[in-house]
A and B are shown apart, each in its own frame.
Chain A
Amino acid sequence: MSGLITLHGWGRERLTEILDKAEGYVASAQSTAFSGATVTCAFFEASTRTRLSFERAAHRLGAYVMGFSPELSSVTKGESFKDTILTLTAIGTDVFILRHTLADAADLAAGWSGRPVINAGLGSREHPTQTLIDALTLRQEFGRLDGLRMAIVGDIRNSRVARGHLIALPTLGVELTLVGPTPFMPQDNPWGVRTSTNLDDELGDVDVVYLLRIQAERGSSADIPSSAGYARRYGMNEERLSMMKPTGVVMHPGPINRGVEIDDATADSERSLLVRQVANGVPVRMAVIAEALEGVR
């Protein structure tokens, strides 16, 4: 049962293989390769780009997409997570694409359903397809990943995107520094990466500034006195952009909060890869879905 719950344990070859596969899908036409297959998007947490790009990716592979939103389902009538997964399995799905607030939801769903589960964002644990998207985007931009330096800036403690990056990007040769106020840092540093509380000190050394949103829905706005103060210390703006190398770029997994972690000029500048990140969501997710469906065939 393959699926993709975590990139933990993936070596450089395996990661490169899926990035190559995704690259191959970038310009691919509509396919019927997986017609007859069904994937279920079970999103127990809000999403725009992840959900739509997973759906688009499945369509482009020829698969049928069953959508499921808890707020419009029997979850509102008290159906448990387990019973919901069992119900969706009984209706008939080959693969689950799951987003959930809880870290182990995908492992449990895989166990209950016996189907491959693709992690579309689990709590603050990991968001592996976002990590693959960002790796692909960077590889396109710089022609390599080895030796790139990235500062991940913001609410890292609550960020599943940052955790995915910490798991996989060092394996691909990207050197990471975590930047943000101490209350936004993980309590422990099992990855052994550099940390810094001063963004301005880091800007001259990095190729990529990777910005994160303050995750108000996980209570992190209570960890800082104000978003205005945060914006002054850590917000990316034209002045800070000018402190970077001329080749330096800005990335963000979205959704962005303009005026907090990024200002309008930076978000819309040619040094911003934000739109390309979103566009790469489709081919990367095609590669991941294709692998999962190949596994069940």
Chain B
Amino acid sequence: MIVVRNARVLTPSGIEDASVVIEGDTVHSVGAEPEANGHQVIEAGGAWLGPGLVDLHVHLRDPGQTWKEDMRSGARAAAAGGFTALVAMPNTDPPVDDRTTATAAVERAAGIEDVEIVAAGALTRGRSGEALADFDGMFEAGVRIFSDDGDSVPTAGLLRRAMAYLRDLPGALIAEHAEDRSLAATGHLHEGEVASRLGIAGLPALAEELVVARDLLLAATTGTRLHIQHVSTSGSLDLIRRARAEGVEVTSEVTPHHLALEESAVEGLDTNFKMYPPLRGRDDRVALVEALRDGTIDVVATDHAPHTTAEKEVPFEEAPRGVIGLETAAAVVATNALGGDPRLFFERMSIAPAGIAGLSRHGRLVEKGSPANLVLFDPNLRWVPGGFASKSSNSPFAGIELTGRVLMTIREGKITYEGGSG
């Protein structure tokens, strides 16, 4: 039995100062302190206790690029970041695009203890953008989320066929990386001030917004559920708001780095600030924060994309895109973007993503009988990220003091991470 004393607990009746008793894989009680003999007692000191975080967007590089990350190291990083479930993107080598690869991914994920890994599948065969992937085979293996993440489905015709087909498979969700290749092809950073000054080809906001607009129109006509990944521009937010008002079933995510950082951070061409979509201008960042607060954006997802130091220690234009995010997300979001509001924090980082992914044992308010997938988070603790549990350390927040730290993560009643005291 685990007893968490003196926590601020997210319960069905709001935030309560209480002690929580966990027995087996379930919350046994929330309320007054029980007798503590023989139990493992954790003194929370007023830290937040809520449902474990859920990340809809993670690259585990497994199989195929396990020198960057693998399921086990990614799961450790996730646990250290307060996550109890994550969705693994299918752009592995080979990609998850049929029954065989999906079954392998699902089976290997089942052997991971630190975090629940949900395997996503590709939308197109081999992620080639040419033909539909084996939706039935993957669906039967348990895959519900389909994405060619890293690339958009290149043509409206192909995406419409995917939407029409997946509409009939209950619980299936299309997650799109919105980026028009013909506009973004040679770009390395946001097409704005910094790109102009350094003479490096930019990625225009338009490259994202054109695809968002296309996808929303397609979702409206096919009636398929659509999730837009890593939204980065205020123009995309306008399109999403308009589509929602017209009844389109669309959700979206934003990354911690797009909430916290702007294009000016790229000025020194540090490759740990290179990712797609790129860091945008101030107006975009402010709009993203506002949209996360008002619910236009449903969830925060990290787009955790590990690359080794050697791979990143090259000229900016040759560097691979992507940054890690699992271990810093909670701090960046809770204090930077959401201003220390625990209810909103758990909504955007646990409840809403669990709902979108259909994970019934995650994102649940803490009460008697709820699953013991929990995170204990101290919103006031200051720390400097470094020494990551991930195999890679390509974080834009490395060496920068953050406020707010995960103290403990519990998956199905077992402590998967404990630390953060200093």
**Interface residues, chain A, with chain B CB atoms under 8 Å away:** 80-82, 100, 102-105, 107-108, 123-126, 157-160, 163, 186-191, 219
B198 — which chain A residues lie within 8 A by C-beta? 103, 124-125, 163
B202 — which chain A residues lie within 8 A by C-beta? 187
Interface residues in B196-211 by Cβ distance below 8 A to A read 196-200, 202, 204
Question: Which of A82, A103, A124, A188 contacts B316 (CB under 8 A)?
Answer: A103
Task: Map CB proximity to A onto B252-275 as digits: 1 under 8 Å, 0 otherwise.
Answer: 000000000000000001000000
A107 — which chain B residues lie within 8 A by C-beta? 269
B317 — which chain A residues lie within 8 A by C-beta? 102-104, 123
A219 — which chain B residues lie within 8 A by C-beta? 186
- Does any Cβ of A come within 8 Å of B142's Cβ? no
* CB pair A188 B196 closer than 8 Å: yes
Smallest beta-carbon distance B119→chain A, Å:
35
Of the A-B pairs whose beta carbons lie under 8 Å apart in the complex, a sample of 30, sorted by A's number, is: A80-B314, A81-B314, A81-B315, A82-B313, A82-B314, A100-B315, A102-B315, A103-B198, A103-B269, A103-B316, A104-B317, A107-B269, A108-B314, A108-B315, A123-B199, A124-B198, A125-B199, A125-B200, A157-B199, A158-B199, A159-B199, A160-B199, A163-B197, A186-B199, A187-B191, A187-B195, A187-B204, A188-B193, A190-B193, A191-B197
Q: Which residue of B lies closest to A123 (CB)?
A: B199
- A157 vs B202: C-alpha distance when bound (angstroms): 11
B129 — which chain A residues lie within 8 A by C-beta? none
Most buried by B among A82, A104, A105, A107: A104
Known: A102-B315, A187-B195. 4 other contacts (CB 8 A): A103-B315, A123-B199, A187-B191, A188-B192
* CB pair A189 B196 closer than 8 Å: yes
User: How many inter-chain contacts with C-beta < 8 Å in the A-B complex?
Assistant: 62
Smallest beta-carbon distance B323→chain A, Å:
17
Smallest beta-carbon distance A139→chain B, Å:
26
- Does any Cβ of A come within 8 Å of B318's Cβ? yes
- A8 vs B195: C-alpha distance when bound (angstroms): 15
Interface residues in B112-151 by Cβ distance below 8 A to A read none
Task: Map CB proximity to A onto B206-237 as digits: 1 under 8 Å, 0 otherwise.
Answer: 00000000000000000000000000000000
- A188 vs B202: C-alpha distance when bound (angstroms): 10
Q: Which residue of B lies closest to A187 (CB)?
A: B191
Count of chain B residues with a beta carbon within 8 Å of a chain A beta carbon: 19
* CB pair B197 A190 closer than 8 Å: yes
Q: Which residue of B lies closest to A159 (CB)?
A: B199
- A125 vs B204: C-alpha distance when bound (angstroms): 19
- A61 vs B284: C-alpha distance when bound (angstroms): 52
B315 — which chain A residues lie within 8 A by C-beta? 81, 100, 102-105, 108
Smallest beta-carbon distance A123→chain B, Å:
6
Interface residues in B312-343 by Cβ distance below 8 A to A read 313-318
- A54 vs B405: C-alpha distance when bound (angstroms): 54
A191 — which chain B residues lie within 8 A by C-beta? 197
Question: Which of A81, A124, A159 contacts B200 (CB under 8 A)?
Answer: A124
* CB pair B199 A187 closer than 8 Å: no
* CB pair A104 B196 closer than 8 Å: no
A188 — which chain B residues lie within 8 A by C-beta? 191-193, 195-197
* CB pair B316 A102 closer than 8 Å: yes
- A158 vs B200: C-alpha distance when bound (angstroms): 8
Interface residues in B282-333 by Cβ distance below 8 A to A read 313-318
B318 — which chain A residues lie within 8 A by C-beta? 102
- A160 vs B197: C-alpha distance when bound (angstroms): 10
B200 — which chain A residues lie within 8 A by C-beta? 103, 123-125
Question: Which of A81, A100, A105, A124 contacts B199 (CB under 8 A)?
Answer: A124
* CB pair A187 B316 closer than 8 Å: no
- A108 vs B202: C-alpha distance when bound (angstroms): 21
* CB pair B196 A186 closer than 8 Å: yes
- A81 vs B315: C-alpha distance when bound (angstroms): 9
Q: Which residue of A lies closest to B269 (CB)?
A: A104
Smallest beta-carbon distance B207→chain A, Å:
12
- A5 vs B191: C-alpha distance when bound (angstroms): 23
- A187 vs B196: C-alpha distance when bound (angstroms): 6
Smallest beta-carbon distance B137→chain A, Å:
40
Closest 5 CB pairs of A and B: A124-B199, A188-B196, A102-B315, A104-B269, A186-B196
Smallest beta-carbon distance A84→chain B, Å:
12
- A16 vs B73: C-alpha distance when bound (angstroms): 56
B195 — which chain A residues lie within 8 A by C-beta? 187-188
Most buried by B among A82, A159, A160, A186: A186
- A105 vs B318: C-alpha distance when bound (angstroms): 11
B197 — which chain A residues lie within 8 A by C-beta? 163, 188, 190-191
- A123 vs B195: C-alpha distance when bound (angstroms): 12
Smallest beta-carbon distance A282→chain B, Å:
26
A80 — which chain B residues lie within 8 A by C-beta? 314
Most buried by A among B191, B198, B317: B198
A163 — which chain B residues lie within 8 A by C-beta? 197-199
- A124 vs B204: C-alpha distance when bound (angstroms): 18
Smallest beta-carbon distance A170→chain B, Å:
14
Q: Which residue of B lies closest to A219 (CB)?
A: B186
Q: Which residue of A lies closest to B186 (CB)?
A: A219
- A100 vs B318: C-alpha distance when bound (angstroms): 13
Most buried by A among B192, B197, B204: B197
Most buried by A among B198, B199, B314, B317: B199
- A56 vs B186: C-alpha distance when bound (angstroms): 36
- A177 vs B53: C-alpha distance when bound (angstroms): 53
- A43 vs B318: C-alpha distance when bound (angstroms): 18
* CB pair B196 A190 closer than 8 Å: yes
